[in-house]
Structure 1
Amino acid sequence: MPENRAAYLMGEKVRPLAVKPGPYTPPGPNQILVRVAAVAVNPIEYIKQDLGGLLYGWVKCPHVLGSDVAGTVVEVGGSEEATGRFRPGDRVVGQALGSEKKFNNSTMGAFQHYVLLQTNMVSPIPDGLSFEKAAVLPLALSTASCGLFQRDQLALRHPVAIADTAADDKKAEKETLIIWGGSTSVGCNAIQLACAAGYEIVTTCSPRNFDLVKSLGAAAAFDYRDANAAVSEIVQFCKNKKVVGALSMGGDAGRGCVEVLRQLPKGGGSCRFLSRVSYATPENKDAGLPARIWCMLSFSVWLWVKSVRHGIRSNVVVGTTLEGNEVSKAIYEDFLPRALASGQFVAAPQPEIVGKGLEFVQTALDTLRKGVSAKKLVVEI
């Protein structure tokens, strides 16, 4: 039996992660066992390390964190779902769910050599896509998909792979979606998914990333750093258009989206719905718990007042909920394999390789905590 090693969170607020032997666990029904080739890191992981039991309070340490996995299938669980889609040796990308309350299992955390993945959260990848590039996708892809397509969120049409149908070039005017934070990991995925679903995208980012978001399909991009100007420009862009809602990424992005949505003309068929990927957070990343709580509460009150006055509805996105509904199949099985193979969908943003080996996962988390732009930090395993 192969030997497994994992990077464990040993206790609440304990740093660094401890790399040590871990169990090698065969897959159960609707699971595959993957030999990890690359992982990417996400803010939720360093936030868990910083806040301890205040986040994922059900997790008991030692525990293996991590969501973003790319690697090779080693074993396939005994179910028609697993054996019908995957074989040992397949190259795949998938979202690890070990920290989710439903599973709460370190054998399903990304930061190790061998990880168990649920088959409905995994997609095969083409030979031309490296593991390092593929690893940037899972959590950002899932989060964008939840916000765009779940029935309790924007509930948009599902994306369609070009290989399945011809593009609808005859449509006179596309409906418009607002994405605030288009160059973020979630934003890069959301732009591509919404374009594949037939929507026109207007987004925000810094000017140095305008070319990036437009290459992914955005029709227009505006500078988020001057929020008042961005709001005015987006409102003007959306004039006489049918807007299907907004998706916001970033600590204060929700405010900009609300200001746009409230100015949409009533009776024009536009939807005043905001899917919020991020909570409001203090600008100081080292702010203590009281400051974080105050920031979230003050934004919540502001949002409630605006919602009541202007008829705006909103919901917070949790990027794992698609595992329990039809969106996981729509993305990981029906859309992504063919879209990646045809080049319709690309892995974005670009990966930045931090190092090779589980010991570099902590380095990647520490680097991410300081802030990155239009890239995702990846560790080769």
Structure 2
Amino acid sequence: MSQIIENRAAWISEKGARPFKIGPGPAPNPAENEVVIKVAYTAMNPVDVVMQENAPLELPYPFVLGVDLSGTVVALGSGVTRFQVGQRVTGHCDSLLTKKKTNSAFQLYATCLEVLVCRVPDSVPLVNAAVLPLAVDTASTGLFSILKMPFPVINPKLTGRKILIWGGSSSVGSCAIQLAIAAGLEVAATASSKNHEYVKSLGARHVFDYNDPDVIKDITAVLQPGDLVYDCIGGDQVRATCTEILQQIGGGTLPTVRWFMPTETGDVKLEFVNGLLPGLVDTSIGKAVWGNYITKALEMGKFQAKPDPYVIEGGLEKIQDGIDMLKKGVSAQKIVVEIAKAA
């Protein structure tokens, strides 16, 4: 670690504290199976807003937040076999599970578990790659853990089933559309009318305006019994709409992304999608998605790093601005803060 002169981080001193305070960061010494990454970009996620404002998880304050990053590998822990120093990567930092400050993205140098990191091909800018980690993992949890779909491959066999992705232009929805196609599903999706072409560019075959008063009727005319629904937006109204759609095609399991108490409504079982799921590490999902698919798919143009980033320059001092902008809402974009100039 001699090449690392100094780490700095955006600290939160206690629940609800703002703005983040910039100061010396934790020494990023890698544990077994960890990769140390010099952070070029970090993306803002709703969980970052929640953890700053009311932190439903207990954290050892002062703490460093941040889930998504992209950058360059600078050191390897024991047991790491997939990476070399100098490689461009994107990674999912899991400090909300580990409670380790080093496993957070809002700092100059961060550590990530090898299984939650993937190499970024030269054809993909690091700023674009930063939008992927949590969105990919949340999409993967819903598709492969809850709905038990086949893992994504470059040339999938068609399953004969369709899936509705509610919220196709969202960060999670953008990844879910592409991963579902790579799992052999035909995709229908909802989006506002201005984002229809964007959602189609990701591979959705059927696109519906969620503001259309006939949207439920139009969607159920396309879906059949045995088809699937994935709520990538969450909230009471969207959950109710997706539940009604699933009921009309015979029921099933509805993954939904915003926290609620799991429940059953008739023949529909609702399950919260935890994109921080330990199972991404403990099961084969992380390996199948990050290890075997994403890099190759990015290289071949089979997977796009979407949505496009909205970039805020200025380093760690701009993390709070990024969080505040996310709270105001963005459409078909993901807010990314430039931490250091990418080589």
Same fold flag (TM > 0.5)? yes
- Normalised by the size of structure 1, how large is the TM-score? 0.84
Partner of 1:95: 92
Q: Distance in 2 between matches of 1:184 and 1:245?
A: 15
**TM-fit CA distance, 1:242:** 4.2
Residue identity in the other structure for 2:234: G
**TM-fit CA distance, 1:358:** 0.3
CA contact (8 A) 1:181 1:250 kept: no
Secondary structure at 1:69's aligned position in 2?
Answer: strand
**TM-fit CA distance, 1:11:** 1.1
CA contact (8 A) 2:32 2:77 kept: yes
Partner of 1:136: 131
Tell me the alpha carbon deviations over residues 229-265 of structure 1, each in whole angstroms, 9 at most, x when there is no partner.
21111001115x641343442323211111111111x
Tell me the alpha carbon deviations over residues 16-44 of structure 1, each in whole angstroms, 9 at most, x when there is no partner.
00011112222111101000010001011
Secondary structure at 1:99's aligned position in 2?
Answer: helix
Report 1:225-240 matches (<5 A): 225-226=211-212, 228-239=213-224
**1:115 aligned onto 2:110:** yes
Q: Which residue, out of 215, 230, 235, partners 1:246?
A: 230
Residue identity in the other structure for 2:109: Y
Q: Which residue, out of 270, 293, 310, partners 1:335?
A: 293
Secondary structure at 2:214's aligned position in 1?
Answer: helix
Secondary structure at 1:174's aligned position in 2?
Answer: coil
Tell me the alpha carbon deviations over residues 332-362 of structure 1, each in whole angstroms, 9 at most, x when there is no partner.
1011110011111010000000123000110
Report 1:103-182 matches (<5 A): 103-150=98-145, 153-161=146-154, 166=155, 168=157, 174-182=160-168
Partner of 1:378: 336
What are the ranges of 5 or more consecutive residues in structure 1 without an aligned counterpart? 280-295
Q: Distance in 2 between matches of 1:71 and 1:215?
A: 27
Residue identity in the other structure for 2:115: N
CA contact (8 A) 2:172 2:232 kept: no
Partner of 1:317: 273
CA contact (8 A) 1:248 1:257 kept: no
Q: How many residues align?
A: 333
Report 1:225-304 matches (<5 A): 225-226=211-212, 228-239=213-224, 242-251=226-235, 252-264=237-249, 266=250, 272-279=252-259, 304=264
Partner of 1:30: 33
Q: Which residue, out of 7, 10, 17, partners 1:7?
A: 10
Partner of 2:57: 56
Tell me the alpha carbon deviations over residues 126-176 of structure 1, each in whole angstroms, 9 at most, x when there is no partner.
0121111000000011000000001xx111111102xxxx454xx5x7310
CA contact (8 A) 1:99 1:106 kept: no
Partner of 1:222: 208
**1:349 aligned onto 2:307:** yes
Tell me the alpha carbon deviations over residues 256-280 of structure 1, each in whole angstroms, 9 at most, x when there is no partner.
111111111x5xxxx621011123x
Partner of 1:208: 194
CA contact (8 A) 2:231 2:238 kept: no
Q: Distance in 2 between matches of 1:182 and 1:250?
A: 13
Residue identity in the other structure for 1:276: T
Change (3 A) 1:10 1:263: same
Tell me the alpha carbon deviations over residues 269-311 of structure 1, each in whole angstroms, 9 at most, x when there is no partner.
xx621011123xxxxxxxxxxxxxxxx57xx7xx64xx23xx1
What are the ranges of 5 or more consecutive residues in structure 2 without an aligned counterpart? none
Partner of 2:185: 199
Q: Distance in 1 between matches of 2:232 and 2:102?
A: 32
Identity of aligned residues (%): 38
CA contact (8 A) 1:147 1:247 kept: no
Change (3 A) 1:345 1:253: same
**TM-fit CA distance, 1:201:** 0.7
Secondary structure at 2:313's aligned position in 1?
Answer: strand
The 4+ residue runs of structure 1 with deviation greater than 6 A are none
Secondary structure at 2:96's aligned position in 1?
Answer: coil
Residue identity in the other structure for 1:351: P
CA contact (8 A) 1:277 1:317 kept: yes
Residue identity in the other structure for 1:272: G
Structure with larger Rg: 1
